[in-house]
Amino acid sequence: MGAYRIEKDSMGELQVPKTALYGAQTQRAINNFPISGIAMPQAFIQALGLVKQACANANYDLGGLDENRRRAISSICDDVINGKLKDQFPLDVFQTGSATSTNMNANEVIANLASQEAGKPVHPNDHVNMSQSSNDVIPTTIHVSAALSCQQQLIPAIKHLISTIDQKAESLADIVTTGRTHLMDAMPVSLGQELSGWSAQLQSALSHIEHALPEIHQLAIGGTAVGTGINADESFGTLVAQQLSNSTGLAFKVANNRFAALSSQDAAVALSGQLKTLATALMKISNDLRWMNSGPLAGIGEIALPALQPGSSIMPGKVNPVMPEATAMVCAQVIGNDATITIAGQSGNFQLNVMLPLVAFNLLQSIEILSNVSRLLADKAITGFTVNQQNIDSALAKNPILVTALNTVIGYELGAKIAKTAYAEGRAVIDVAVDMTDLSRKELEKLLDPKKMVR
């Protein structure tokens, strides 16, 4: 057993590890919630440092906090923001629904170190938590952390993936392949056109995410316990939002209605919904890549994805489409996270939502894993895949659906007979059409040129 010190709070005394920077309330939560072993996301803790720092500066501006304490609190918040104190935030995601425990964890750590730096007592509630409640701090921190994660990670990652796809599409613009609907042969498309569809999906998803962010930029801070702003100056929330805007470069502002900001998580639910849309697009793209890469002999085999690692512990030489598979699993997780956030968003009972830690965890996880996998899909799958021209040409030449281009000349019924004959005999459509129509081979070559069909 390690060494302990005795700490006390309004409920009495208890033992806290001697080396811990937190105090009694954090320790109670450690004792009460040994549930998952999953700590609150680091992006959330760093954003909480930003919020606490902005609050200290606002309280100083309003005359509630002296310069010595303000400076000390702000200095320790810098360490929180920079991740230097992350081992001092051990609390489980599955805790009190307001995340009061995490708010007090931050208050206690900051107060402990700030007291040392200031050379006089800094109280976790009276000073670090001045003009605040967990009920407005935590929703504010959810929004700040989500906004920063989207701006710094997700949006650049999606743009990188779009750019990578666009460059690849341009290089494949002249390669015509068999189109597929219902997983069955259809009229030709170019690979460039196929990839342009992926890019358009991602552009749309990106636009929707960006349109969801202005509501994320609205903050609950200043509402304190129930939205009325009890124990806070009327201008406190506005000052905090201005401080956060200055420190992050994002346009934060006080929520239009702080009763809604405390009791609901509608903005987070909306953003999560757009993350789900992005995940849906990425799932489609990943599955297209898997099908196009399938084989290499018994599948479609149109492309060869970069070989990243051995694909089997028993079958030598097997290589799998691991990057699209990993992407698809991320998408499944994000879709599940969205369902969780939706349920959590419904848990606003009267003046407070009581699943705030769950919203924070799932929302930030979705942003993080979508950001990471988007870059990996771009750099380890799309950039480096090669085209199997021989497989494409062979399948395209025998595609009976090419006869569709003759409909206006020979009619649907004769076209159907030619297609069925070509398929049954394994012959090229043009060869069968020469036998079954009055058209010359030269005329048919012009009509059945796949490159003309995609323009």
What is the Cα–Cα distance from 382 to 374, expressed in whole angstroms?
11
- In the structure encoding, which two tokens stand for residue 239, read together? 């000052």
The residue from 182, 264, 294, 313 that is catalytic is: 182
Pairing of strands 12-17, 4-9: antiparallel
Q: Cα separation of 321 and 306, whole Å?
A: 8
Q: Residue 214: which of 146, 280, 137 has the closest Cα?
A: 146
Instruction: Write down the number of H helices and E strands in the chain.
Output: 18, 10
Helix (H/G/I), strand (E/B), else coil: 321: coil
The DSSP H or E segment spanning 307 is: none
Owner of token pair 């929707």: 208
Q: Which of these, 29, 192, 175, 198, lies nearest to 99 by C-alpha position?
A: 29
> Is 134 designated active site?
no
Q: Which of 207, 312, 394, 440 is labelled catalytic?
A: 312
DSSP-based three-state secondary structure for 246? helix
The residues with which 6 forms a beta bridge, in sequence order, are 15
**Burial class, 37, CB count within 10 angstroms (exposed 0-12 / middle 13-18 / buried 19+):** exposed
In angstroms, the Cα distances linking 51 to 139, 221, 320 are 11, 9, 45
State the DSSP code for 234. T
Q: How far apart are CA 342 and CA 346, in angstroms?
A: 7
- Residue 312 annotated to the active site: yes
| Unique residue bearing structure tokens 């200031």 | 118
Q: Which residues are marked as active site?
A: 182, 312
